[in-house]
A and B are shown apart, each in its own frame.
Chain A
Amino acid sequence: MSNKEEIRALHTPPMTNTKFDTSQSIRESYKPQLSVTQENLNDTQGTITNNSPGQNHNHVELSKEEIDREINSIEQLPTDLSKLIDLFINDLKQPKYIKPLTVIQLSSLFQNFYTKFDRASFQYLSTIHSNSGSIGSGNGGNNDNGTTAENNGNTSGNSNLNGNGNGNGNNHGSQPAFLVARETLSSGLSGIFARSRSGSGSSLRRGRRSSSLFSIDSSNVQPLLSPEEIQKQLRTNELNNYKIDKLMSLCEREVFRRILEVGTSVASPPKEELVTRANHQKKTFNVTNLFRNSPEFIEFDKLLSEKLHTLSNLANHDKIDLVEFLKLPVGKNPNIESREAFDETEDLFTNLVSHTIAPCEKIAVILKIHESMMFSQEMCNDDFLPMLVYYIIKVCPKNIFLNAQFIKLFRNKKKLVQQEMYALTNFEAALVFVEGLTCTDFISSSQEKLTDPEKDTLQMPISSKISLPSPLKNSGSVNVDVTLHEAHPEAIRSNSYDGFKYAFDTSLKNIFGKIRSYTPPVQPINLPRSSSTLSLEVDKKASSSPTRNGVAPQPITTSSSASTTTTTAAQLHEGWKKYKDHKFEDLKVSELKEIFDIYQKIMG
């Protein structure tokens, strides 16, 4: 091994020095010893995938079963986290924005919420883990040696970094209990960072470490974690990451499910209608509602649908030969045109546009569409893309463009990476290809067969008629983020009374409709300040408090606006009298502010 390294060191120039020709060096270094390189490459991959503990301490390999077991144990969101969703939806419905939010601004709010939820999930799991750690250590002690271990579990939980390992002096026989108790000390990331760096030594040091741990005068010495303990901690961390992923996808589902429950209609419909609508909506979620304030998207989608229908008709009436036009790989897979393949894909498309709600569910369907098209593990994009275009034209799914944009904007950006991102890009590329198709793309014999309306539809690319907001115009990637931060100056919040009045008509409510008042199941406004173990205060301050302290003290519906005026007058009258007998010198700042508010109301 050292030999190989030496060879490499001799021939690989420092990458930071321009005087060396890197490509030349690499070529010269590796060419004569291709087998060595190959071996090296395999070695390194083996190291990573096989998790040889001696070489790679930082990597933890979890078996698929193990992950599945842990993940499947989470079936629904814990109440503490579920409350966050209630608060978010409640916050969305506050009339606090001067202008109706565009879909991009709305997406930004969702992405911010996902980030907060992610943090909260981490805190939640850390709390759970540290709690169960304490209990576990207590039990372990009872099972093994008796009361000492139990005490260790409790005391150590309180004295994190001092690491009171010496308390285990009486506990020589119960190593497992000791390990569990020690784990309590270092639950959470801080614990790991604080301790694992000193525990990264080899197992040879273990004897010495133990002796210092158990000695009486070691109270100020921070005990080291053994490699096993580090592994255990890392495993817990890794599992927590998977759990957070699961919680995040549950969160995505739950947010949109609740938006569905709240309804999206503008007027308040009668009760019976509401029930029917709710049932209907559960089956068919219409993403169009979210794009209500961004009509360019809806228009684009409409034109694309028209184009797709035209192309589909042309293909069905043999006016164009799609297979030939797209150069489908029929030679490799003759089933492309079969009825079964079409039916299967059609079902998936229907599922995508009609029977799925959350973006994570929709992107999973897009991945399934790719899977269903796959006739070989070695299939490349020379084959995928034309097939995707073919099926999109043949199936003509409704609102396909809006669905793709919905995923792009509302899927948790942290998870919209790798193969999900690739599949979505492929999907979008297929749509961009279709929207850009014009008559001139087809052979002249096909062009002659077109009727006038067909020619009109295929006259020019849709993108030359409708300009979408800049981040989406390129439609290449979902780097929504950057644009969102630019395009979303905190959604133009207003603290002025004028803005407040205006907000009645033009608040975010208009996006979700002037919906029947939504009552979240658990404590809609009262934050889980005292009861919750989560430290959500910071998040709350960022999201909800501006609303409560500033613009909209309570959720106010448009229907109540008439009565509000009279109430205000009555309150105003009370306010006048309240400070009648006060002297200016005695007034507190808060009272002065109140008087100023009254003054402003009078002037208003």
Chain B
Amino acid sequence: MNSSVTSIKLVLLGEAAVGKSSIVLRFVSNDFSENKEPTIGAAFLTQRVNIGEQTVKFEIWDTAGQERFASLAPMYYRNAQAALVVYDVTKPQSFIKARHWVKELHEQASKGIVIALVGNKLDMIENGGERKVAKEEAERLAEEEGLLFFETSAKSGENVNEVFLGIGEKIPIKKPGEQANEQSGLRITDDQRVDLTNSVDGPVRSAGCNC
């Protein structure tokens, strides 16, 4: 209801058991507020974060990671402003799947969707496990595809908040006034929602020239 809150629909993609929901639970579990909004387990969660002067409310949609349900993913990422493509740093297969998700998102999701590539289970390497996906390889993919890239550990919490802060900072957020003026009435929202269609080039477009 707060007019200064901007909602961001964020969808979680990645193979089953790479720790998608664990990352989100870690991110959300920092908040002990009493008036928690209703959720559906860890499948649908919300979390508010202050980024600069804006309050951003993440609406986090989990998807089923089994290959059998892969064709249903577009139903979930439709109208999403952000996506977290998660892989397990110890499972190369999950990275291959992540590549597919990135490709599919670029082809089928909203045009300006902000994608973060996240290599999870970093703690396993720190505890002596073998890394199977090189950081450089993932970084290269991120660079080629224009993604944010993080390596995290949902278990220890390492880098988890940074993923969401990074996404929040990269998404072009309009000022309440601008939002009101440009309301087309064609979107289904109760709060303000970022409209990616008007800002394909992300922040660059929304910037005013200082010279």
Contacts and interface: CB of A to CB of B under 8 A. Distances in A.
Given A42-B30, A378-B25, A479-B79, A16 B203 contact: yes
A16 B206 contact: yes
Interface string A402-414: 0000000000011
A384 B75 contact: no
Nearest to A30: B162
A48 B31 CA distance: 10
A27 B40 CA distance: 31
A17 B40 contact: no
Interface in B166-211: 166, 169-170, 185-190, 203-204, 206-207
A479 B195 CA distance: 14
B63 interface: yes
Contacts, number: 183
Interface in B11-41: 16-17, 20-21, 25, 30-31, 33-35, 37-41
Interface string A6-48: 0000001001111000110011001100100110011011011
Interface range on chain A: under 10, 10 to 19, 20 to 34, or 35 or more?
Answer: 35 or more
Contact of B33 (A45, A386, A485): A45
A52 B158 CA distance: 29
Interface on chain A toward B: helix, strand, loop, or mixed SS? helix
B26 to A, nearest CB: 11
Interface string A310-326: 00000000000000001
A16 B207 CA distance: 5
A428 B50 contact: no
Interface residues of B, number: 66
Contacts of A370: 40-41, 43
A475 interface: yes
A49 B72 contact: no
Contacts of A376: 41
Contacts of A475: 75
A380 B78 CA distance: 19
Contact of B166 (A22, A415, A421, A433): A22
A288 B73 CA distance: 29
B203 A425 contact: no
A290 interface: no
B127 interface: no
B78, B185, B189 pick with most chain A CB within 10 angstroms: B78
Interface of A: 12, 15-18, 22-23, 26-27, 30-31, 34, 37-38, 41-42, 44-45, 47-50, 58-59, 61, 64, 238, 241, 326-327, 367, 370-371, 374, 376-382, 384-386, 413-419, 421-423, 425-426, 428-429, 432-433, 436, 474-482, 485
Given A37-B161, A381-B62, 17 more contacts: A22-B169, A30-B162, A45-B30, A45-B49, A49-B31, A58-B4, A241-B1, A380-B21, A381-B63, A381-B64, A414-B190, A417-B189, A425-B76, A476-B74, A479-B187, A481-B187, A482-B186
